[in-house]
Chains A and B, each alone.
Chain A
Amino acid sequence: MSLVSVENLSVTLGGNKVLTNVSLTLEPGEIVTIVGPNGSGKSTLLRAILGAVEGQTGIVTHAPNLRLGYVPQKLAIDPTLPMTVGRFLGLPRKVAPALLRAALEQAGAEALEARQMVDLSGGQFQRVLLARALLNRPQLLILDEATQGLDQPGSAAFYERIANVRSDIGCSVLMVSHELHVVMAASDRVICLNGHVCCSGAPEHVASAPEYRALFGSGTQGALALYRHEHDHHHHHHEDAH
């Protein structure tokens, strides 16, 4: 059965209709990306899937005992709050040291356990957040603009890691991004959102859909192709260096 199903979800925030009649389902094992312009309700949709939001009508159903892992957009940590990476992963529930180390390793953050959260770089921080989301062996990993503030190679490496995690533990992934070309290349299915679902389907299908082009212009399909080309090239270069 589906991990999550959303039926006719509408959300009104402060008198504005943010989402109108959104319906979607998430199947086990797939990577689904929500794309859309700023203010299109992407984050609100994720929040509604995570738990109830105010001003919500419609039905969000989770599979029984669904284990969710959530990687938030960017965490602003107040510098007055001292927090090691290891302690952060023990919030809100303490975890066994072996489990903690396994999650850090899976997320590529194994060297960071004793570091202070406020001292981490953007990329390290995202890997720690990923490790935290992996702690309870999620069936569904939810990422909200998880690569904000990373440069393009950094984002590409992060999404590659997500794809690896998916094949390791077999979870589904639902993510939101505005980095269309990077994210679409890594997705099984793309949902184009602008207050309502404009179009959805395989990345190539969505990139050539008229609704998508109306939102993002026709240039992005070229960028998708360009990205894939760059990606191959990057790999090649990388091997040369060794």
Chain B
Amino acid sequence: MFDDFLVRAAFASVGVALAAAPLGCFVVWRRMAYFGDATAHAAILGVALALAFGLPVFWGALAVSLIMAMIVATLSGRSFATDTLLGVMAHSALAIGLLAASFLSGVRIDLMAYLFGDVLAVSRTDLAVIWGGGGLIVALLIWRWQALLTSTMNPDLARAAGIDPKREQLVLTLTLALIVAIAIKVVGVLLISALLLIPAAAARPFARTPEFMAGLAAVIGAVSALGGLSASFVMDTPTGPTIVSVAACFFVISVSLGGFLRRTANREK
């Protein structure tokens, strides 16, 4: 059944969406949007380095994303203006990555595929990497769920309960680098943050518990992935941006509907 490139594309995008949703919730709750950007943008440098040394792109992207995520996690704990610092890191990483890619002579590198994804070119091996990596992310998040939530609420509260907030931060740093590495093929480095943030933000107005928000975000992400894939097939548009556009539509509908419901509820009070 994986012989058809459309079936492979569908499984690949749904796999990434399912893993990105719960992780994206933490990105939203902990205000790590720029953190996600910096990690994702650094991956392009990893891609360029991997191609230069003839290594698999997945490992190159994973390694450089991980290093970037570690640097950012260390620096943002200090008293810098964090948003400025992260903005500088995110965009510098992208620029340096593009610069490195331009030095690659002899290797024809399709930059667009790494910037915006090329899900229709997903191979069986890619699919195995995506579901293997995605499964690992979800397993890590489920394992650390309670501790992660507690340290997201308040680090001191976590410490009082014998949880080390730094270790939990490390789990998120690791999983974030991993999602970047597996999502490059599907949406590309520029739109990975979108896949993390938008389904989670769209789920927020209807959620009363963190678990429900993560679950609903996964549903919204998966539906966006399939909807975006079919829309891109029908309209002959690039798949990654189409998936993100569908998710953005869900966000607009959800926020408007959420606001409407809240106003109605307040009037009834």
> Which residues does A use to contact B, with CB under 8 Å?
47, 50-51, 68, 70, 72, 75, 77-78, 80-84, 87-88, 91-94, 116, 142, 144
Contacts and interface: CB of A to CB of B under 8 A. Distances in A.
A87 B149 CA distance: 11
A51 B157 CA distance: 11
B226 interface: no
Interface in B13-46: 28-31
A93 B154 CA distance: 15
Nearest to A117: B153
Contacts of A78: 29-31
B154 A75 contact: yes
A9 B192 CA distance: 47
B210 interface: yes
Given A80-B204, A82-B204, A72 B154 contact: yes
Given A78-B31, A80-B28, 11 more contacts: A47-B159, A70-B156, A72-B154, A72-B156, A81-B29, A81-B210, A82-B210, A83-B210, A84-B209, A92-B149, A92-B163
A51 B147 contact: no
Contacts of B201: 80
A51 B160 contact: yes
B152 interface: yes
Interface string B151-195: 011101111111100000000000000000000000000000000
A88 B208 contact: no
A91 B156 contact: no
Contacts of A70: 156-157, 160
Given A51-B159, A70-B156, A82 B208 contact: yes
Which of A75, A84, A91: most chain B Cβ within 10 A? A91
Contact of A82 (B147, B154, B161, B212): B212
A92 B208 CA distance: 18
Contacts of A142: 160
A83 B209 CA distance: 5
B207 interface: yes
Interface of B: 28-31, 146-147, 149-150, 152-154, 156-163, 201, 204, 207-210, 212-213
A92 B155 CA distance: 12
Contact of B153 (A77, A82, A94): A77
Contacts of A72: 154, 156-157
A116 B265 CA distance: 15
A77 B29 CA distance: 9
Contacts of A91: 146, 149-150, 153
Contacts of A92: 146-147, 149-150, 158, 161, 163
B158 A82 contact: no
Nearest to A87: B209
B146 A47 contact: no
Contacts of A47: 156, 159
A41 to B, nearest CB: 16
A82 B209 contact: yes
B150 A116 contact: no
B219 to A, nearest CB: 16
Nearest to B155: A72
Nearest to B161: A92
Contacts of B154: 72, 75
Contacts of A50: 156, 159-160
A82 B258 CA distance: 14
Nearest to B209: A87
Contacts of B147: 92
Contacts of A75: 153-154, 157
A81 B153 contact: yes
Contacts of B157: 70, 72, 75
A72 B154 CA distance: 9
A82 B149 CA distance: 11
B204 to A, nearest CB: 6
A17 B201 CA distance: 43
Nearest to A82: B207
A26 to B, nearest CB: 16
A189 B63 CA distance: 55
26 contacts: A47-B156, A47-B159, A50-B159, A50-B160, A51-B159, A51-B160, A51-B162, A70-B160, A72-B157, A75-B154, A78-B30, A81-B29, A82-B204, A82-B209, A82-B212, A83-B209, A84-B208, A87-B209, A87-B210, A91-B146, A92-B147, A92-B149, A92-B161, A93-B146, A94-B146, A144-B156
